[in-house]
Structure 1
Amino acid sequence: MHFPSNLKKLLDTKQINYSLTMYTNDNFEDNAFRDHHLRNSNAARSVLLEDGQGKVLALVPANCILDLNRLCQLLGRELKAVSPAEIETMASSKGLDVIPAIPNINGLETVIDDQLVNSENPVLLDSGKSPHLLEIDHNALESLMSDKAKQMDIAVPVDSIEDENTDDLRDITEAVTSFTNHRIKQRLEDTLEMPPLPETAQRIIKLRVDPNADIADLSNIVEIDPSLAAQVVSWASSPYYSAPGKIRSIHDAIVRVLGFDMVLNLALGIALSRTLSIPKNGPYGSQPYWRSAVYMAATMEGLVTAIERQHRPGFGLAYLSGLLHNFGYLIIADVFPSYYDRLCDSWDANQHLEQTIIERQQIGVSRNQMCAWLMEVWNLPEEILVALRQQNNPDYDGEHAIYANLLYISQQLLRRKGLSCGPKEPIPKHLLERVYLSDDILEDTIDNIMESAMELENIANELAG
Structure 2
Amino acid sequence: MGVSTLDHVAQQDNGARIVLLHDSEGKVLVVLPVDKLLNLVPIWRDSERHLQPVKAADVKRFFSQDQLQIEAGQRKLFSLPVILDSDLDVAPSLNIVEPLSGLEFTADRSWYTKHADIMEIGVGLPDIDKVQPEGDDEAVITRAVERFTALRIKQRLEDTLGLPSLAPTTQKIISLRSDPAAGVDNLVPVVKVDQSLAAQVMSWSVSPFYAAPGSIQSIEDAIIRVLGFDLVVNLALGIAMGKTLDLPEDVPRNATPYWLQAVYTATLSERLAKQMEPDVRPKPGLAYLTGLLHSFGYVILAHLFPPHFSLLSRYIEANPNIRLDYIEKHILHVTREQIGAWLMECWSLPEEVCNGVRYLNEPQHPKAEGFSKVVFIANRALRYEGWADGPLERIPNTLLEECGLSHRQINAEIEFMRKESDALDDLTKTLAGQSRK
The TM-score, its normalising length taken from structure 1, stands at: 0.82
2:304 aligns with 335
1:157 aligns with 124
2:95 aligns with 124
Structure 1 stretch 384-393 or stretch 156-165: which is displaced more? 156-165
Alignment coverage as a number of residue pairs? 425
Structure 1 stretch 49-58 or stretch 314-323: which is displaced more? 49-58
Task: Report the secondary structure of 1:162's partner residue.
Answer: helix
C-alpha distance in 1 between matches for 2:407 and 2:180:
38
C-alpha distance in 1 between matches for 2:218 and 2:319:
46
CA gap of 1:79–1:224, structure 2 versus 1, over 3 A, is farther
1:47 aligns with 19
1:249 positional shift = 4.2
Q: Write the mapping of 1:31-430 to structure 2, written as runs, cut at 5 A.
A: 33=4, 35-41=6-12, 43-94=15-66, 105=77, 107-117=79-89, 123-126=94-97, 134=106, 140-141=108-109, 143-162=110-129, 167-179=136-148, 183-187=150-154, 188-189=157-158, 191-210=160-179, 213-247=182-216, 249-279=218-248, 288-394=257-363, 396-430=364-398
Quote the RMSD (CA, aligned, Å): 3.1
Residues 55 and 254 in structure 2, CA contact (< 8 A), matched pair in contact too? no
Letter in 1 for 2:288: Y
Post-superposition CA distance 1:13-45 (Å, at most 9, x none): xxxxxxxxxxxxxxxxxx974523334447211
Letter in 2 for 1:417: E
Letter in 2 for 1:156: V
1:19 aligns with none
Task: Report the secondary structure of 1:178's partner residue.
Answer: helix
1:213 positional shift = 3.1
C-alpha distance in 2 between matches for 1:101 and 1:313:
53
Post-superposition CA distance 1:77-114 (Å, at most 9, x none): 333322222222222222769xx997861633221111
Letter in 1 for 2:319: N
Residues 53 and 318 in structure 2, CA contact (< 8 A), matched pair in contact too? yes
The TM-score, its normalising length taken from structure 2, stands at: 0.87
1:440 positional shift = 0.9
Structure 1 stretch 227-236 or stretch 358-367: which is displaced more? 227-236
Post-superposition CA distance 1:162-193 (Å, at most 9, x none): 2789621121111122225xx34444456522
The answer to whether residue 409 in structure 2 is matched with residue 441 in structure 1 is: yes
Structure 1 stretch 405-414 or stretch 235-244: which is displaced more? 235-244
C-alpha distance in 2 between matches for 1:249 and 1:282:
40
Identity level (%): 38
C-alpha distance in 2 between matches for 1:125 and 1:114:
16
Post-superposition CA distance 1:170-224 (Å, at most 9, x none): 21111122225xx344444565222223322211122234455332321221233
Structure 1 stretch 302-311 or stretch 109-118: which is displaced more? 302-311
CA gap of 1:162–1:292, structure 2 versus 1, over 3 A, is same
C-alpha distance in 1 between matches for 2:216 and 2:55:
41
Identify the structure with bigger relative contact order (alpha carbons < 8 Å, sequence gap 6+).
2
C-alpha distance in 2 between matches for 1:103 and 1:334:
45
1:361 positional shift = 0.6
1:422 positional shift = 0.9
Q: Which runs of 5+ in 1 are unaligned?
A: 1-30
CA gap of 1:248–1:340, structure 2 versus 1, over 3 A, is farther
Q: Which runs of 5+ in 2 are unaligned?
A: none
Residues 272 and 410 in structure 2, CA contact (< 8 A), matched pair in contact too? yes
C-alpha distance in 1 between matches for 2:314 and 2:103:
28
